[in-house]
Every structure is written in structure tokens, then in C-alpha cells.
Amino acid sequence: MRPPQSLLVLGGTSRIALATARRLIARRTRTVWLAGRPSPALESAASELRALGAEVRTIAFDALDPDSHEAVLGKVFAEGDIDMVLLAFGILGDQARDEREPAAAVRVAQTNYTGAVAAGLIAARALQTQGHGSLVVLSSVAAERARRTNFIYGSSKAGLDTFTQGLGDALYGTGVHVMVVRPGFVRSKTTADHEATPLTTTPEAVATAIELGLRRGSETVWVPGRLRLVMWALRHLPRALFRRLAE
């Protein structure tokens, strides 16, 4: 599959999404929509991508307001074909606080799962109507197995991941490609050196993996790639042992 000419990012300030947009603009992408909560950060992300030569527009999008998603995505698709939708919004939450305050936990679930179900279904239908395109969804290694330290976030990503796999099956053979991306812990540039482990990654590495996954038409992408095997092994460990390892 060729790199997209047009890209819609849901979660327009996400550092992984912006690294991906920069990489795709360097290839072939000419039109970028950054959908997100209005903020100076969203506008400066748009300016940064414009400076790379893309035509960039921003549009207000709130994952926590699923009733508005139809209108927001409808407006974008009405302006022209979208070759790739990158579903990048998400919040980590704060596990300790979220356990104390269920309303905060619900916010994590509603952003990462419910919001993505609404936006994902609407994007998928729009891509199917135009007859081509990719829906790329940022899941997480945390979706693979529950951990004491982040199970609220992890369970929201597990729901998102399962949803995306099923959506991929539903769209198989329609000309629309669905890809789940499972990054490990993503370091920022400033912490890149001292937090590096074989299972951590960077936004730029995720962007590279997404581009490769698109070219291959992959359904699942792990970043770094070795996580696939590591998580396969961890998934089969007895709970008591995993509990101790994951502390």
C-alpha cells in the first residue's frame, strides 16, 4: 500500500501522531486534518506541519462527546477523500487516583474506549463509503495483560484493541484496511537516553513502524517488534508469577 495523500488525525496533538504525520509528509502526504480539543498546542502542531509543506486544517473534536463525532467526521470527509485515519487520542489517567475516584476511572474508559468506539465506527463507515483507506488505531502493550499498576488504562485499551480487531474483520475484503498498533512505553526526546530499555520505544520509531505496516498492509504492529514475542510469553505465565514480575 502507498503512503496516504490525505491524513486525518483524531487526537491532533499526540506526539506519536505528529511524529507519524511528519514522516508521512516527508513521503507523500499533502493534506492533514488535525482533530482535537481546541488549544494553542493544536494550532502550533498545525503550523509545524504546514512548515513541512502540507496543507493542514484543524477541527474541534472531543472524544468525550461521541454524539458530536458524526458531524465532525462528516465535515472532514465532505471536503475530500481521506486515505488514512489515525485514531491517536487517549489518556493514561492516574491509577491510584482513579481507584479512589471512580468518576476519574470512568473518564479514562470513556475517552479511550467509548470515544474510540464511536469515532472508529463512524470513520470506518466513511472509509467504506469512499471505497478505500486505512484506519490505524493506537492501542498499547498494556492491553495484552492486566497489571496491578495500570489496569484501568490497560482495560480500556484491551477493549479498544478487541474492538479494532473485530472492526478489521468486519471490513476485510471491502478495500478498507484496519491496523492495530501496540507500542511499548514511549519515551520522549528528553528522557530518551536514561529510560531506554529493550522494550521501550520513541514516537519516531512508532511512526516508522506505522509506515512499514501500511506498506505491508499489516493488521497488527508491535513497537518495538520484539514485544510480540515477549508478550506472547508473558501472556502464558501463571498469574501468581506474572503478578510478581509486573510489580
Give residues in contact with ligand NAP (CB under 6 A).
Answer: 11-17, 36-37, 39, 41, 61-64, 88-91, 111, 138, 140, 183, 185-186
Write down how long the chain is: 247
Name the residue with cell 480500556: 156
| Amino acid in position 87 | L
C-beta nearest to ligand NAP: residue: 90
Question: Residue 19: which of 186, 217, 179, 190 has the closest Cα?
Answer: 186
Q: How far is the CB of 240 from ligand NAP (least distance, A)?
A: 26
Distances (CA, A) of 1 to 83, 98, 176: 11, 41, 11
Enter the C-alpha cell of residue 13. 496533538
- Please say which residue, 120 or 183, places its beta carbon nearer to ligand NAP: 183
Instruction: For residue 157, give the H/E element and its range.
Output: helix 151-171
Integer Cα distance of 152 and 6 in angstroms: 34
Q: How far is the CB of 120 from ligand NAP (least distance, A)?
A: 12
Task: Give how far the C-alpha of residue 109 lies from the chain's centroid of Cα atoms, to the nearest Å.
Answer: 15
| Amino acid in position 21 | A
List the end-to-end C-alpha distance of the chain, in Å, as a whole number. Answer: 41
Q: Give catalytic status of residue 153 as yes or no.
A: yes
Catalytic residue among 61, 153, 163, 222: 153
Q: How far is the CB of 27 from ligand NAP (least distance, A)?
A: 20
- Please say which residue, 15 or 30, places its beta carbon nearer to ligand NAP: 15
- Please say which residue, 176 or 186, places its beta carbon nearer to ligand NAP: 186
Distances (CA, A) of 138 to 61, 102, 237, 243: 17, 24, 25, 25
Q: How far is the CB of 137 from ligand NAP (least distance, A)?
A: 9
Enter the C-alpha cell of residue 11. 487526537
| Amino acid in position 187 | R
Q: How far is the CB of 198 from ligand NAP (least distance, A)?
A: 15
Q: Which residues are catalytic?
A: 153
